[in-house]
Amino acid sequence: MGSKSKNLNYRILGPDTVKTDLLEVIEYLYLGRDIEITIEHLEYTSVCPMTGLPDFGKITVRYVPSKKLIELKSLKFYLLQYRNVGIFYEHLVNRIMDDLVHILGPKKMEIIGEFTSRGGLTTRVSVSYEG
C-alpha cells in the first residue's frame, strides 16, 4: 500500500516571492547616541522545502541603528510573506539579514531564528553583521 501523503498537493513558493519593497524605514534622530533595538516575531511560519510541512518559530532582530529604523508594521508584513515559502532555516536568517542590512545600513545587527522541535530536534540559527 503506497503512501497517501504523496497525493497531497502543497503549494510551496520560492524565496524569490518575498518582496523587500514592503519594508519601510524611519529616520533615527539621535545619531550621536547608540541604542540597541530588539524585535521578536513570535509567530513566524514557513514551510519545509523538502516536504511542504509547516515550520514554526521565533525570529529575533537585534540591531544598533546608524541613520534608519525599521518601521514595525512593515517588518511584520515582510515576515508574513514567508508563510508559504519553502526555505531552510540557515538560508532564512541570512536572507533576512541581507534584506535588512541593505535597507537599514545598521552599525550592528543579529538575526536569530529559534524553531520549534521537529522529530525531537530543536534548531537555533543566528547570523551577525558589523558594519
> Each residue of 35-44: pLDDT tens digit?
999 999 999 9
99 is catalytic: no
Q: What are phi and psi of 5, to 5 degrees?
A: -70, -20
Q: Which domains are present in the chain?
A: 25-130 (3.30.1130.10)
Kindly report, residue by residue over 5-52, the tens digit of the pLDDT. 555 566 899 999 999 999 999 999 999 999 999 999 999 999 999 988
98 included as an active-site residue = no
Reported as half-sphere exposure (CB side, CA atoms, 13 A), residue 48 has a value of 9
Q: Which of 21, 34, 55, 99 is catalytic?
A: 55
pTM of the entire predicted model: 0.91
Residue pair 93/111 in contact (Cβ under 8 Å)? The answer is yes
CA–CA dist 83, 15 (Å, integer): 11
Catalytic residue, chosen from 16, 48, 98, 99, is 48
Please give the grid coordinates belonging to residue 27: 529616520
Q: Does the pLDDT value for residue 4 go beyond 70?
A: no
